[in-house]
Chains A and B, each alone.
Chain A
Amino acid sequence: MSAAIDNHWYPVAMISGIDAPRETLLLGKKIKLGREDGICWVKDASGTPLPTVERFGHLWTSPGQPNRDLFTIPEADSPGRRLVDVGSVKVKCSPLRAVENFLDIAHFPFVHTDILGAEPHTEVDRYDVKIREEVDEVWATKVKFFQPQAAKSAAGGITTEYMYRVPAPTCSVLYKTCPPRPGEWDIITLFVQPLTDEWCEVWPWMALYDDDSTMSEMVSFQQLIFMQDRSILENQLPRKLPLDPGMEVPTQADMTSVAYRRWLKKIGYTYGAQLVAA
């Protein structure tokens, strides 16, 4: 595997869920992880320790030598937020397809009907997208969409504003209008562990302002949303994400996806991707 793929941080477990040592896959290779005296460890198949970071309630590791720290989400540290470990769901799809689906708004009325979208409110207005070279991240801003039930805490339909951020090839952070606190953003993340290039374990995590819902209700809400996506993700073709134009024709609503694919190509991140043969 190339350094462009190995030298990233990847989520491999929810810290609160680590009891006995266990095996999992990362980029097609077996790794072992566990926790001793409160400190998490990860080893590769030959028993060599791999670097670790404990952040956002999850354990992160890298098979390579990351040249920078795992990204941060400073807004998540503000007091009053409830941090929600959603648990993981396994999906037979490219890790990049899982991230791309998370970045897409146009499917809401059809896949998350009456929750994140509803017919006839299907149009995606123009929004801004850019690759922020200085931080090497993809950002989509000024995304607006009508949602019947934007969050567990939403009482009725509202026009929700979104910002999407891709701080690492298999991670995305969503900043979203917080129904009980207009002016603040709810934070919903999708951390994707590439088991192989066509199989992933997805670890959603949230930092929300919601004083009313129980933790179980917030977990349920997010699992409901993600499981609605799962059957779609497992049926997408081609199975690997095409990074070159031509295989799939984007529309204006797909600007974030176009930027994401362009950025993956630029940084040489081809795991779970397909390139048109030269």
Chain B
Amino acid sequence: MILYDYVLSARCYKVRLMAALLGAPLTLQAVNFHPGREHKSPEMLVLNPNGTLPILKDGDTVLTDSADILRHLTSDHPEWRSADDDTWLAFASNLNDSLGLARLHDVIGYAADIDTARTAGVTALRKLEAHLTEQRFDDLIFLTGKAPTIADIACFPNTALAPDGGVSLDPYPSVRLWMRAIRSLPGFIEMPGIHRLHELAHPA
């Protein structure tokens, strides 16, 4: 499988993280999204006429939607799926359009109504916090149950990267515990802005 990848993209990271957690080998093809705008080059538009990333190529299959890619990667892994995933995959899209947009604005100067993006991001984070708090009352740490599913992997990146876009995660303790649970998963990989757990996790 080849992932056309941009190292700072939250959506590309979803795919890298999912593959790492599954132990699925992934060949990364670096795309110069910024400053090169290589995702809009003629070669890339042949692969994906929408000119977006990520793009996953698995044999003859080409997928360009990160939710579809997560479903594809876990098609033989029912333990990573739940009946509630679709709701959260849609929610992940909201996170991308709010927190994700604020981040691109603040980091690489994307045009955006920054106040609207941040306000929508905070609204989404409050929903996430409320849900995860309810889950914790039932001893469930992840979005859909006791074990992580593609719902968690879809929602994690733009949430964890919220501070990059000027949105603090301080007011959301349940969200922070959930993020810590994800960062503790065997095979977890980091991306810039999301640091791994160091030895603090296991004091000698």
Contact = CB atoms under 8 A, between A and B. Distances in A.
B36 A216 contact: yes
Interface in A105-130: 110-111, 113, 119
Contact of B109 (A88, A111, A119, A223): A88
B46 interface: no
Nearest to A113: B196
A89 B30 CA distance: 18
A227 interface: yes
A55 interface: no
Main secondary structure of the interface of B (DSSP, over half): loop
B31, B35, B164, most chain A CB atoms within 10 A:
B35
B202 interface: no
B108 A220 contact: no
B199 to A, nearest CB: 7
Interface of B: 6-8, 30-32, 34-36, 38, 106-109, 163-164, 166, 190, 192-193, 195-196, 198-199
A224 B32 contact: no
Contact of B192 (A88, A92, A217, A223): A223
Contact of B7 (A17, A113, A215, A223): A223
A16 B34 CA distance: 12
22 contacts: A87-B34, A88-B108, A92-B106, A92-B166, A113-B198, A119-B198, A119-B199, A216-B31, A216-B32, A216-B38, A219-B32, A219-B35, A219-B36, A220-B7, A223-B7, A223-B8, A224-B8, A225-B192, A228-B192, A228-B193, A231-B193, A231-B195
Given A87-B36, A90-B106, A226-B192, 13 more contacts: A16-B35, A88-B35, A89-B108, A90-B108, A113-B196, A113-B198, A119-B198, A215-B36, A216-B38, A221-B7, A223-B34, A227-B8, A227-B193
A224 B35 contact: no
A197 interface: no
B6 A220 contact: yes
Interface residues of A, number: 30
A24 B199 CA distance: 42
B163 A14 contact: no
Interface in A11-66: 14, 16-17
A197 to B, nearest CB: 18
A4 B107 CA distance: 29
Interface string A221-241: 101111110110010000000
A100 interface: no
Contacts of A87: 34-36, 108
A85 interface: yes
Nearest to B193: A231
Contacts of A17: 35
